[in-house]
Amino acid sequence: MAPTKAHATEIPDFTENAESWPALPDFAAWQDTCDTLHMWTQIVGKVRLALTPVINHWWEVPLYVSPRGLTTSSIPYARGIFEMEFDFLSDRLLIQTSEGTEKSLPLVPHSVADFYKEFMAALASLRIDVKIWTMPAEVPNPIAFDRDHQHASYDRDAVIQFWRALVVIDTIFEEFRSRFVGKNSPVHFFWGSFDLAVTRFSGRRAPARDGADSITREAYSHEVISAGFWPGGGDIKSAAFYAYAAPEPPGFAEAPVRPASAFYHPQMHEFILMYDDVRKSPSKATLLDFLQSTYEAGANSAKWNRAELERAA
């Protein structure tokens, strides 16, 4: 049944009214849940990594924001294709195959080890044959998935608020992405670093990084200016947007960016804008200003050919 006009007015226009963006819980209050969900997404993401052909800059590995949570999109396997989606609204991980079969796992408080065991059993029951490396990536003090009984929290309300923020941010990142006609990444959610990101490329190769591992070499083989959003951690104690240029050109850190609340973090080599500063601002223009001004800071400092890379207004 189509929604009535009254029902429609209950849904705020997040993209135009930033004051209506979801208020995220204090990061410390939901960090245990965030860490657990991070590990669950790594398990699912590593299956996609194992079965999907390699694409430049590891674009075959991320997840994508969906109308119900986070999805892998289609993944090839011996019998066809399948898709896995964290359906946060129905509290389940849904696995569906092109053979018309499916399995689901509940998203409830239980350990990473239990999730891993149930998940791999579900894949086997669908005749999806895959092996993954069980050590988490890009986290301090990693614990193998099958031995991780430490992370076992799931606060449904906090997860849904985080996902609703991703929905809003994804639409604005897509608008920003549309302004660039050069090589441009999808808007995607990297399960390694647990962030939503979009990246622009100058078209030029980047100088080799001394001591870089194979993952970093491929990720930064070309000049990039990247922006993203993550829930917090480390030096940044709550949800924030970031932007960086790699390699960082001279003058980037000193360049003026918008809004005034944005700042350059010298240890992270990134511009930072706190989520709450955007949420409390009048409109989506605040976030678009941050994305555009940090891009201009990098592109001008590195002398990108902007006339050839940008869409005319």
pTM: 0.92
In this structure, are 201 and 261 located in the same domain?
A: yes
Please indicate, yes or no, whether residues 185 and 272 belong to a single structural domain of this protein: yes
User: Tell me, what's the pLDDT at 17?
Assistant: 54
- Asked whether residue 16 is domain-assigned, the answer is no
Task: Decide if 76 is inside a domain.
Answer: yes
Domain limit, last residue, from 147, 170, 186? 147
Same domain, 169 and 110: no
Host domain of residue 289:
156-309
End-to-end CA distance of the chain: 39
Q: What is the pLDDT of residue 4?
A: 35
**Does residue 7 lie in a domain region?**
no
Determine the Cα–Cα distance for residues 309 and 313; give it in Å rounded to an integer. 13
Q: Are residues 116 and 165 in the same domain?
A: no
Question: Are 227 and 175 in the same domain?
Answer: yes
pLDDT at residue 283, as a whole number:
78
Do 187 and 295 lie in a common domain?
Answer: yes
For residues 166 and 117, membership in a common domain is answered with no
Which residues lie closer than 8 Å to 111 by C-beta, 6 or more apart?
A: 148, 149, 150, 151, 152
198 domain-assigned = yes
Q: Please state the domain count of the chain.
A: 2
Indicate whether 175 and 261 sit together in one domain.
Answer: yes
Same domain, 167 and 301: yes
| 243 and 112 in a common domain | no
Domain end, chosen from 106, 130, 147, is at 147
Position 227 in a domain = yes
Identify the domain boundary among 119, 147, 175. 147
Instruction: Tell me whether residue 11 is in a domain.
Output: no
Q: Digits of tens for pLDDT over the chain (313 positions)?
A: 333 333 333 334 544 554 568 999 999 999 999 999 999 999 999 999 999 999 999 999 999 999 999 999 999 999 999 999 999 999 999 999 999 999 999 999 999 999 999 999 999 999 999 999 999 999 999 999 999 999 999 999 999 999 999 999 999 999 999 999 999 999 999 999 999 999 999 999 999 888 888 888 988 899 999 999 999 988 898 999 999 999 999 999 999 999 999 999 999 999 999 999 999 987 779 999 999 999 999 999 999 999 999 998 7
